[in-house]
Every structure is written in C-alpha cells, then in structure tokens.
Structure 1
Amino acid sequence: MTDNTPHLIEADGLSMHYLVGQRQVPVLRDVTLRIRAGTRVAIAGPSGSGKTSLLLLLSGLERPAAGQIRIDGIDLGGLDSDGLADLRRERIGIVFQSFHLLPSLSALDNAALPLQACS
C-alpha cells in the first residue's frame, strides 16, 4: 500500500560547511529526506552532529552549500530574503534553543505575539 499524502518537506543532496579560519569544516554531507504532512519527526544525535544546522537549512535561515529544499512544494533556492521571510511567517514555526521572551508578558501572550504581527 502506498501513502499518497504529499511531502511537506523535501531535501535532496544537502551539504553544509562552516569556515573555521581558512578551513571548511563539513557539517552535513549529501542529506536527503522526505517528511509527509501530519508526520511527527524527531532529529536526534550527539552534540555537533548537524541537527541545528539541518533545521536552519530547512527553515531557510541558512543556505546549503549544495542541494535543494522544498517546503510544501516551494523551492527555497528560488526565494530571496523577503520570500524566505514570507515563507517562515506563513508556513513555518520556529522555537529557538536560546529563546528570548518578553518578561512583561505572560507565556500565553509571548506565544501569541507573532499572531499580532500577522494580523
């Protein structure tokens, strides 16, 4: 039996590296993944294994050295910074590891704050 649910996230041949001095340090090499809508996924691995780097690529906050990313059929490589910002605002929710809440707001008000920016 085949699942006809469309892929919400598609990545093909992703590679990424960081520059440390003059040296390129590879973080991701030729990563391919498909995630269907409604699927729950956990990304696990030791510190430094590329989990955060992968999420930065999938959210369009970083660009891959090689490969292609599609979110809901939209090719991230074809978007400029404004297009990526629109995509994140409309289709992607991000909770950063080091988040900064406004202390004068409740947790609920902090969570609802991005909704006010969209209305």
Structure 2
Amino acid sequence: MAEPMPMEKMVSGYDGGGMSYGIVANDQIMPMPPQPGTENEKYGEFEDNPVKQVSAEPVSTFSIDVDTAAYSVVRRYLERENVLPPKDAVRTEELINYFSYDYELPNSKNEPFQTDIAVYDT
C-alpha cells in the first residue's frame, strides 16, 4: 500500500460555504473546464426592415407564436458575460414573447384590442 501524502503537499477542499469537501492533493486538482462560450455561437444575419407608409400598408402583424430563446441568450450576455449581445442574437419578438401576458380577450371584432395600463410607485 502507498504511503500517505505529506500534509504540506495537500490543500483543503473547504470553500467556506459551510461544507467541507475533504482534502485533495495539489496534483489532483483539475482546472475548471471551459464553459460553453459565445465564441462558437453563430447567428443568422438580419437586415432591418424598411420603413413603410401606413397609408400604403395599414395592417401590421406581430407573431405571438414564436420561440423565446433570444431572451435567455440576451440575459446570459448581460448578466454572466457583462457584454452586449451580438445584434443578430437580439430577436425582439422573442424577447417580448418570453413573458406571459394575461390580457382579456377583445370585446368584439369592431374593437380588436384595448389598452392595459398599470401605474406603480417608484
């Protein structure tokens, strides 16, 4: 059986978080593996939509049945990486659709939408 390693060559695995993880030999401590990063993420390039004349195209649509992944991507860039996300990673419709909205249904076809106003103390 091998001799125990001398204490001066060992480090404590205690992290101060209230839990001890034992003693680990210095040569057995592995560096933290790199986290999946943004350097390998690819986003399709999007061009801004042109400005349209409302008198020529009075109907506008906004899809509410879309993915919500962009919210998580943007949040990760801002919170964990502390940088702005690439512009093509920001999908406005996915940011808006990330949140659930509990709006009342329209009253009639003649009134297809209504306003929802909330006032909060600041």
* TM class by smaller structure: under 0.3
CA radius of gyration, larger in: 2
| Bigger RCO (CA 8 Å, 6+ sep) | 1
Indicate the structure with greater helix content. Answer: 1
> What TM-score do you get using the length of structure 1 for normalisation?
0.27
